[in-house]
């Protein structure tokens, strides 16, 4: 949309570091560097992850829409993510259990991750680096932190000295607002703790045990990098020692992002990130999602309907719309009622949009201020990307469209063009709803298949093959596709 840059100065972002909303002022005018923690590719991406990636996709889209040149970096963790209660890498463990090479596990779940994001219409990031592609940089960063006296080596492993950092450099715990004394008191007795000077110290480099599959040579012996270090190395390599936005799920705030701040400041002496942003949790039927309780579901299980949680499949567009009906910082609960509401709401908006071209023109607009309505949509997005308020505004626009179509309000040709442009921009460019999918999740390819079946049925009717004609009609009806025969031919409706 033209002239969107004029809304830039109104954008405010909630900064997790300060705990308040702040006016967005990028380090380099007109440019934005954004880093988002990507998946650890040892298993299927779950819905909570998916909500986070959709949230930051909308943020990416909106920043680009405002005219910023955005470099969006989202990593792939394919090494170094330790199990909570041991020093075994999650990917190595999965490879051992499935009797596969670790890179087979990585490839399998990276492909799956991209497939899910494509289905839900996420844009790809500018750069998608991998941890294994940056081992040299991680070793060099570890050496530098050692040289600065903020890390120490024990038996081939290197640990970050949290207590010394907290005493000599900056407060450790300032993002999560945790005091180091409480962290020490609450530390559990985990494997490898006896090597550390302080129980809350974290690994920059871990010595590989004899059976550990993923390992690389280093000055301290064969091993693998710590999970926290990869994000510090990759974010600063592609975005600089300081950059604008770092995002991720709320669960990463501590310890992952806290450790990133410490590592970044240890390396450069600067706070690495201006705005820390965190997407909140996704629950299901009011309870935390958990494999142990069975209260969990995968994205493809929702898209296909192959699950015992919901009565029917819901399209990726419906799931995306459902995610955006809550502000990214709020907890969101997944339920059949919520998905049905999203499905119906999306259908209402699309039906209203389809009416815009045929709205009757008028010399002047009466009963609906299009410019004021448009400004409200930008006001919502500029208030920390408040998608539910923006969506409520779109529903106001849909209501106005229906009033104009019924002759209860009037619209000028210029306002009609602005109305269509605004709907297209917010629905497709900013919220990222797929253009080629109708309100029931029917893609254009599926439409073509239905048309072929209608043609076959028409041919069967011409040859009086009533059994085949009825079979096609009945089978389509069973799938929720109702045929309507009229004087202008056969049309269909998805129920």
Is 359 a domain residue?
yes
Same-domain check for residues 182 and 210: yes
Q: What is the pLDDT of residues 191-228, one digit of tens each?
A: 556 789 999 999 999 999 888 888 999 999 999 999 89
- Picking from 252, 279, 306, the residue at the C-terminal end of a domain is 279
Residue that the structure tokens 């049925």 belong to: 457
- Picking from 255, 279, 303, the residue at the C-terminal end of a domain is 279
- pLDDT on residue 240: 98
Is 19 a domain residue?
no
Q: Report the range of poorest mean pLDDT among 45-49, 81-85, 367-371.
A: 81-85
Same-domain check for residues 454 and 371: no
Query: What is the pLDDT confidence band of residue 190, given thresholds at 50, 70 and 90?
Result: very low
- pLDDT on residue 91: 84
**Is residue 427 exposed (0-12), middle (13-18) or buried (19+ Cβ within 10 Å)?**
buried
Q: Mean pLDDT, the chain, as a whole number?
A: 91
Same-domain check for residues 413 and 392: yes
Same-domain check for residues 291 and 191: no
Q: What is the pLDDT of residues 305-341, one digit of tens each?
A: 888 999 999 999 999 999 999 999 999 999 999 999 9
Quick one: average pLDDT of 480-487?
81
Query: What is the pLDDT confidence band of residue 475, given thresholds at 50, 70 and 90?
Result: confident
Is 220 a domain residue?
yes
Q: What is the pLDDT of residues 229-268, one digit of tens each?
A: 999 999 999 999 999 999 999 999 999 999 999 999 999 9
Same-domain check for residues 181 and 204: yes
CA–CA gap between residue 225 and residue 187 (Å, rounded): 22
Q: What is the pLDDT of residues 141-176, one digit of tens each?
A: 999 999 999 999 999 999 999 999 999 999 999 999
Quick one: average pLDDT of 84-93?
69
Question: Positive or negative CA dihedral for 270, 272, 273, 277?
Answer: negative
Q: How many domains does the chain have?
A: 3
Q: Which parts of 291-386 fold into alpha helices (H)? A: 299-304, 316-324, 336-355, 370-382
Q: Give the range of the structural domain holding residue 245, as residue numbers without chain letter.
A: 25-279
Same-domain check for residues 76 and 195: yes
Is 437 a domain residue?
no
Q: What is the CATH number of the domain that holds 56?
A: 3.40.50.620
Give the orientation angle of helix 102-119 with respect to helix 47-65, to 10 degrees.
60
Same-domain check for residues 102 and 210: yes
Same-domain check for residues 397 and 452: no
Same-domain check for residues 119 and 248: yes
Query: What is the pLDDT confidence band of residue 293, given thresholds at 50, 70 and 90?
Result: confident
Is 1 a domain residue?
no
- Picking from 279, 299, 315, the residue at the C-terminal end of a domain is 279
Q: Pairing mode, if any, of strands 31-36 and 69-74? A: parallel
CA–CA gap between residue 281 and residue 439 (Å, rounded): 27
Same-domain check for residues 267 and 342: no
- pLDDT on residue 292: 67
Q: What is the CATH number of the domain that holds 425?
A: 1.20.120.640
Is 480 a domain residue?
yes
C-alpha distance from residue 250 to each of 112, 387, 400 (Å): 23, 18, 38
Q: Who wins on pLDDT, 209 or 134?
A: 134
Is 439 a domain residue?
no
- pLDDT on residue 186: 56
From 230, 250, 228, select the one nearest 238 (Cα to Cα). Answer: 230
Is 76 a domain residue?
yes
Same-domain check for residues 128 and 85: yes
Same-domain check for residues 209 and 291: no
Q: What is the pLDDT of residues 103-119, one digit of tens each?
A: 898 999 999 999 999 99
């Amino acid at each position: 949309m033209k002239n969107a840059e004029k809304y830039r100065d109104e954008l405010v972002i909630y900064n997790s570091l300060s705990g308040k909303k702040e006016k967005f002022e990028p380090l380099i005018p007109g440019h934005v560097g954004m880093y988002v923690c990507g998946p650890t590719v040892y298993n299927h991406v779950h819905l909570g992850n998916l909500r986070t990636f959709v949230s930051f996709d909308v943020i990416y889209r909106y920043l680009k829409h405002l005219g910023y040149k955005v470099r969006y970096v989202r990593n792939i963790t394919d090494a170094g993510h330790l199990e909570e209660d041991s020093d075994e890498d999650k990917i190595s463990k999965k490879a051992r259990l499935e009797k596969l090479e670790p890179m087979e596990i990585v490839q399998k779940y990276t492909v799956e991750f991209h497939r899910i994001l494509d289905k839900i219409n996420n844009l790809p990031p500018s750069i998608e680096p991998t941890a294994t592609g940056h081992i040299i940089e991680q070793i060099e960063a570890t050496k530098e932190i050692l040289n600065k006296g903020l890390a120490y080596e024990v038996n081939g492993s290197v640990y970050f000295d949290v207590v010394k950092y907290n005493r000599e450099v900056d407060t450790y715990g300032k993002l999560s607002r945790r005091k180091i004394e409480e962290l020490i008191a609450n530390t559990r007795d985990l494997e490898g703790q006896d090597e550390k000077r302080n129980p809350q110290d974290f690994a920059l480099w871990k010595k590989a045990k004899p059976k550990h599959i993923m390992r690389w040579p280093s000055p301290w012996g064969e091993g693998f990098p710590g999970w926290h270090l990869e994000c510090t190395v990759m974010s600063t390599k592609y975005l600089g020692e300081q950059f604008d936005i770092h995002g991720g799920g709320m669960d990463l705030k501590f310890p992952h992002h806290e450790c990133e701040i410490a590592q970044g400041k240890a390396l450069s002496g600067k706070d690495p990130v201006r705005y820390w942003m965190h997407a909140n949790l996704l629950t299901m039927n009011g309870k935390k999602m958990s494999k142990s309780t069975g209260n969990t579901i995968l994205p493809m299980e929702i898209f296909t309907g192959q699950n015992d949680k919901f009565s029917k499949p819901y399209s990726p567009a419906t799931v995306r719309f459902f995610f955006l009906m809550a502000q990214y910082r709020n907890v969101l609960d997944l339920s059949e009622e919520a998905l049905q509401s999203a499905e119906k709401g999306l259908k209402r908006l699309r039906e209203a949009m389809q009416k815009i071209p045929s709205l009757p023109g008028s010399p002047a607009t009466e009963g609906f201020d299009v410019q004021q309505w448009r400004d409200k949509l930008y006001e919502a997005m500029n208030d920390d990307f408040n998608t539910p308020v923006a969506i409520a505004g779109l529903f106001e626009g849909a209501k106005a469209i229906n009033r104009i179509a019924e002759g209860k309000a009037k619209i000028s040709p210029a306002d009609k063009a602005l109305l269509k442009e605004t709907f297209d921009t917010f629905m497709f460019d900013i919220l990222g709803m797929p253009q080629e999918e109708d309100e029931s999740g029917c893609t254009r390819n599926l439409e073509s298949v239905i048309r072929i079946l209608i043609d076959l049925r028409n041919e069967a009717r011409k040859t009086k093959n009533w059994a085949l004609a009825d079979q096609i009609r009945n089978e389509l009806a069973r799938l929720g596709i109702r045929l309507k025969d009229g004087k202008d031919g056969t049309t269909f409706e998805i129920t």
